[in-house]
Amino acid sequence: MITSLGAVRDVVDAIHSYGGLVFHDVINLRHAHKAAEAGVDGLIAVCAGAGGHAGLLNPFAFVAELRQIFDKIVILSGAITHGRQIAAAQLMGADLAYLGTRFINTRESLAPAGYKEMILASTAKDIVYTPAVSGVAANFLRASLIAAGADPDNLQSSVKLSVSSEGEAKAWRDVWSAGHGVGDIHDILPAAELCQRLIAEYHEAIAGITPGITGSPRRA
């Protein structure tokens, strides 16, 4: 179970009661400490450039800090689109890599065709970090903000874009989220084919590490 925006001990205990695991999104150490105290099984470091609700911390710095306070599973999220980046995540101390935007552009994804095409047409400069859509800072595609009638260069937490109980579905339908990794996404393919590609890229990256470098990922 993936939780976000507040780790609650009662929820964690309920999931543990049937043998489930809880991985919690965190964007800073304060959130990480609270999640650890709630007994989560893993922390998802949602770093700068991640799609959706994301933080601003550099992944090298954040993973290193998390490792100092947390000895369970650490998952790295943010602009990961290639197998070599998964290998890099492990080498810097994460156990797993978390890919979101890359899987929007798969055939099985229920995202609208226009959403997928917008990702193909975008690069990192086309991602806007703003709290104006949901009240919590997140990364969105600039073109989708423009299509919704907003000025990406002059955004405020306004009534027009704020999410409410009545407008949540519409807001999230019309304003599309994505991470900085969009510039490395050039196709829409079956999820199985994407996974096979990522696995091959990962093994190629691991095999290409310069001989003599000491150390290894925490978990293989």
- pLDDT of amino acid 170: 58
Domain co-membership, 13 together with 93? yes
Give the span between the Cα atoms of 108 and 106, in whole angstroms: 5
Amino acid identity at 2: I
Q: How many domains does the chain have?
A: 2
Domain co-membership, 124 together with 94? no
Nearest alpha-carbon partner for 68 in 43, 104, 97, 87: 43
Domain-embedded: residue 213: no
Q: Do 136 and 5 contact (CB within 8 A), yes or no?
A: yes
Domain co-membership, 72 together with 46? yes
Domain co-membership, 76 together with 16? yes
What is the CATH number for 91? 3.20.20.70
Question: What residues make up the domain containing 200?
Answer: 2-99+192-207
58-75: average pLDDT:
97
CA angle 142-31-220, nearest 5°? 85
From 43-57, 58-72, 96-110, 156-170, the region with the lowest mean pLDDT: 156-170
Domain co-membership, 196 together with 176? no
Domain co-membership, 12 together with 91? yes
8-35: average pLDDT:
97
8-29: average pLDDT:
97
Per the confidence metrics, is the pTM higher than 0.75?
yes
Domain-embedded: residue 23: yes
The β-bridge partners of 2 are 23
Give, as one character, the DSSP assignment of residue 106. B
